[in-house]
């Protein structure tokens, strides 16, 4: 089992079995330390209790104490871990379908694990799986204690979210929340009501199999209709573990992560809260955001795709705001990781203080047409040395000039090369992407049978 950009994931009880997760818990206790408490939360998937029990058993088997938080957003676990100086773990597959699940660990202080630590975890997991029956185990009082939280953790986390407004209120604003039948299904409504907003909720009835099902940040269509019908000021759609959010403005149009970043960057710069007047984004961020920030004198720092790389750049340089188009937004002075509910509160706070509707605020940037083509069954490692591919890219980049952009990146888990193109018109973006994708396929196709 390999760690990806956000822990390990797989089909629950098939690729991600209880036996494997138990072994992963034991490996984690050995690598991360068994002398401190682990706060363990999960989303609402039917497989969550099964895998959370296995993970807890593995940790306790190695002598680590575990606090079972039950259903808790990933950023909630991170917030609690940071406050208490504990380790954290979350059983969730985020926006994936319900049959999938995953395990991600948080280092002491609520931070994501580094690549090197995850490499040690992989190695230790292999060692645990190869142990024989005569391996010496912890017994007696050396076994870790497991306790269940009684709801105090969730209540404390909710108070921290509301406190991020520094006493300001959202009175007079109406919001429709789409809980994705996931980890924020109950917490979100309580938080936004406590902040003063008028709240209505969609998809807050999880049954174990309906998480992310035609709802949440990956399927905001019903939320768009609900906002229009209710005449609400804003809609917020979370994903399964509530670490990301997409917004809907008062007329039902999507306001994605790039627009949210633009709004919050300008607001924070005006208030002196944007360190070094710098915003951190990934290579997939729309060129429209970069151009908007340039017009307003805000520098843009770029990282590889993945919120962990954004977090690393922010930590290394002291920057305070970064994120992704998908809605992973990090306010590093307020949280250690992306938090969909926190982001929603901060966005509505801008609306409240300025008196401007979300559509007007989002107009600060114009999204350039963007297209992505996934070229499958190709030799990903060969991309670096594919002269014909890069020659084709060079031709297109020169033709676009400063009016567009081309990004090629290879998947870390599948034989896929992603071709992303931005251009002034959608047809031009489509044409450029198609030409480059054709060269990629011609030069790097694996052929049959697939290797």
List, by residue number, the catalytic residues: 94
How far is residue 206's CA from residue 297's CA, in Å, rounded to a whole number?
45
Packing angle between helix 152-163 and helix 74-84, nearest 10 degrees?
A: 90
* Beta strand pairing call for 370-376 and 87-91: unpaired
How far is residue 91's CA from residue 70's CA, in Å, rounded to a whole number?
10
Choose among 439, 392, 440, 402: nearest CA to 423: 402
Find the length of the chain. Answer: 451
Residue 186 contacts residue 204 (beta carbons within 8 Å): yes
How far is residue 337's CA from residue 314's CA, in Å, rounded to a whole number?
11
Q: Using omega within 30 degrees of 0 as the cis cutoff, is the peptide bond preceding 449 cis?
A: yes
> Beta-carbon neighbour count of residue 57 at 10 Å?
17
- For the chain, the straight-line distance linking the first and the last C-alpha, in angstroms and rounded, comes to 19
């Amino acid at each position: 089992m390999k760690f990806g950009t956000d822990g390990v994931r797989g089909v629950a009880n098939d690729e991600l079995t209880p036996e494997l997760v138990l072994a992963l818990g034991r490996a984690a206790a050995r690598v991360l330390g068994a002398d401190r408490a682990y706060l363990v939360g999960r989303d609402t998937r039917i497989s969550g209790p099964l895998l959370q029990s296995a993970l807890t058993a593995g940790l306790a088997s190695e002598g680590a104490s575990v606090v079972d938080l039950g259903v808790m957003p990933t950023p909630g676990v991170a917030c609690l871990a940071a406050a208490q100086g504990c380790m954290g773990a979350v059983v969730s597959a985020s926006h994936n379908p319900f049959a999938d699940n995953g395990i991600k660990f948080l280092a002491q202080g609520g931070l994501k694990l580094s690549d090197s630590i995850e490499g040690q975890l992989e190695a230790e997991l292999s060692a645990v799986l190869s142990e024989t029956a005569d391996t010496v185990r912890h017994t007696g009082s050396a076994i870790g204690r497991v306790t269940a939280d009684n709801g105090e953790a969730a209540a404390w986390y909710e108070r921290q979210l509301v406190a991020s407004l520094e006493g300001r209120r959202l009175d007079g604003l109406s919001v429709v929340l789409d809980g994705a039948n996931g980890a924020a299904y109950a917490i979100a409504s309580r938080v936004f009501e406590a902040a003063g907003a008028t709240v209505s909720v969609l998809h807050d009835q999880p049954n174990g199999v309906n998480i992310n099902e035609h709802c949440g940040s990956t399927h905001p269509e019903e939320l768009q209709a609900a906002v229009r019908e209710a005449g609400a000021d804003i809609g917020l759609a979370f994903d399964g573990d509530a670490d990301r959010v997409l917004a809907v403005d008062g007329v039902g149009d999507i306001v994605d992560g790039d627009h949210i970043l633009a709004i919050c960057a300008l607001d924070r710069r005006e208030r002196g809260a944007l360190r070094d007047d710098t915003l951190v984004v990934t290579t997939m961020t729309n060129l429209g955001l970069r151009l908007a920030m340039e017009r307003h004198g805000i520098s843009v720092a770029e990282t590889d795709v993945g919120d962990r790389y954004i977090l690393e750049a922010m930590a290394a340089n002291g920057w305070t705001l970064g994120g992704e188009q998908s809605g992973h937004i990090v306010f590093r002075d307020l949280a250690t990781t992306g938090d969909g509910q926190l982001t929603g509160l901060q966005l509505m706070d801008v609306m409240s203080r300025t008196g401007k509707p979300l559509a007007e605020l989002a107009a600060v940037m114009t999204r350039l047409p963007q297209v992505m083509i996934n070229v499958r069954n190709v030799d990903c490692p060969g991309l670096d040395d594919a002269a014909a591919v890069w020659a084709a890219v060079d031709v297109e980049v020169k033709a676009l000039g400063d009016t567009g952009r081309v990004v090629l990146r290879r998947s870390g888990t599948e034989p896929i090369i992603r071709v992303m193109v931005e251009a002034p018109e959608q047809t031009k973006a489509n044409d450029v992407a198609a030409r480059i994708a054709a060269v990629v396929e011609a030069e790097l196709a694996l052929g049959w049978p697939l290797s």
